[in-house]
Amino acid sequence: MKLYRGDKIFNKKTNPGIYRNNGIRSKAFGSGASPENIELQGMLQSIRRHVKPSAKEDIQYYDVTDFISFSENEERAKYWCSDRDTLILTECRDFNETRYIFAMDIPNSELEGHGKGIYSFRYKCNPVLKGSDVDNPVNEAVIKFAAGNEKCPHCFLPEHYHLLILINSFEYLISYPEHERIKGAIEFAKADEEWLLLPCDKIGIHRTTRIPRADFWNVKLFTVSGESRPEMNYL
C-alpha cells in the first residue's frame, strides 16, 4: 500500500521542516492537549472531527489532532501541498525546500486488519537515516555519529517494534449505522481518499506523537516561485 502526504514548512503545528532528525509529527506533539483525547471522546468522534471539523469543539480537536493525514492518491497530496493547486511545485535540493510530499510504501502482507478499515503495522525504525535539520556540516556529523550508536527504546530488541495504526477514514465512517448523520465527513473522506495514521508507541501509559525515520517512508522536496525558506534554528 502506498500513501502520500503534502505539507509545508510554514505549518507550525506539524513542523515538517524538521523531519530529517525528528520524523513525521502529528499536531498533538507539544500541544499541551490531553494525551487521552481519543479515549475520552471515542474513535468515531475523533475521526469525524479530524476529517470535517465544523463546530468550535471540532476545530479545537483538529488543531491538536492525534492523527496524521495521508492519501492513497499522490495527486491529492500535491493538491494540498500546493495550497489547493494554486501554486506550481518545483523539485529542489536539500535545505532549499518549503514544501514536502511524504510517501509511504507498506507491504500489504505486513498489515494486520482489525475490521472497519482499521489496520496495524509493526516496523523497525532506522536511526542511520537521521540527519541534521539545519544545513550545517558539524551538526550533521554529530547527529550521524550519535545515530550510528543509537539504540531505539522501542525497537532495539529483536522482538520489539514500533506500532502504527492506519485507518481508512471512508471505510470506517460508513461502517456505522448512523453514518447518514455524518454524511459530510464521509464525502470529505472519499474525496481525499484519506487515511489517518496514529503513532502508537507507548511512553508510560500514553502514546508517542511521531513516526520516526524508517525505511518504509521517504520524502520529495519542493519549492514554489517567490516563496522564501524561513530561518531554521533547530539543531
Distance CA 4, CA 93 (A): 20
To the nearest whole percent, how much of the chain has pLDDT over 70? 95
pLDDT-based confidence at residue 31 (cuts at 50, 70, 90): low
Q: Residues with Cβ < 8 Å from 29, sequence gap 6 or more?
A: 14, 15, 209, 210
Amino acid at 55: A
Cα–Cα distances in Å, from 5 out to 14, 35, 84, 154, 221? 12, 23, 13, 25, 12
Chain centre distance of CA 42? 20
In a domain? residue 230: no
Which has the closest alpha carbon to 14: 50, 77, 65, 58? Answer: 65
In a domain? residue 42: yes
In a domain? residue 17: yes
Chain centre distance of CA 67? 7
Cα angle for residues 57, 61, 65 (degrees, 5° grid): 170
pLDDT-based confidence at residue 161 (cuts at 50, 70, 90): very high
Asked whether 46 and 34 are in contact (CB, 8 A), the reply is: no
In a domain? residue 152: no
**The three grid cell numbers given for residue 190, joined into one nine-digit string:** 472519499
- Domain count for the chain, please give it: 1
Look over the chain and give the mean of its residue pLDDT values, rounded to a whole number. 92
pLDDT-based confidence at residue 34 (cuts at 50, 70, 90): low
- Output the pTM of the full model: 0.93
In a domain? residue 232: no
In a domain? residue 35: yes
pLDDT of residue 180: 66
In a domain? residue 148: no
**Domain region containing 116:** 2-121+164-223
Tens-place pLDDT, residues 109-135: 999 999 999 999 999 999 999 999 999
Q: Residues with Cβ < 8 Å from 162, sequence gap 6 or more?
A: 122, 123, 124, 125, 152, 154, 155, 199, 201, 211, 212, 214
pLDDT-based confidence at residue 190 (cuts at 50, 70, 90): very high
pLDDT-based confidence at residue 176 (cuts at 50, 70, 90): confident
Distance CA 115, CA 123 (A): 21
DSSP code per residue over 22-53? H-EE-TTTTS---TTHHHHH-HHHHHHHHHS-
Tens-place pLDDT, residues 64-103: 999 999 999 999 999 999 999 999 999 999 999 999 999 9
Tens-place pLDDT, residues 142-155: 998 888 788 898 89
Mean pLDDT for 200-229 is 92
Return the H-helix or E-strand segment holding 68.
Answer: strand 68-71
Which residue, chain included where needed, has cell 514544501? 99
**For residue 179, pLDDT beyond 70:** no
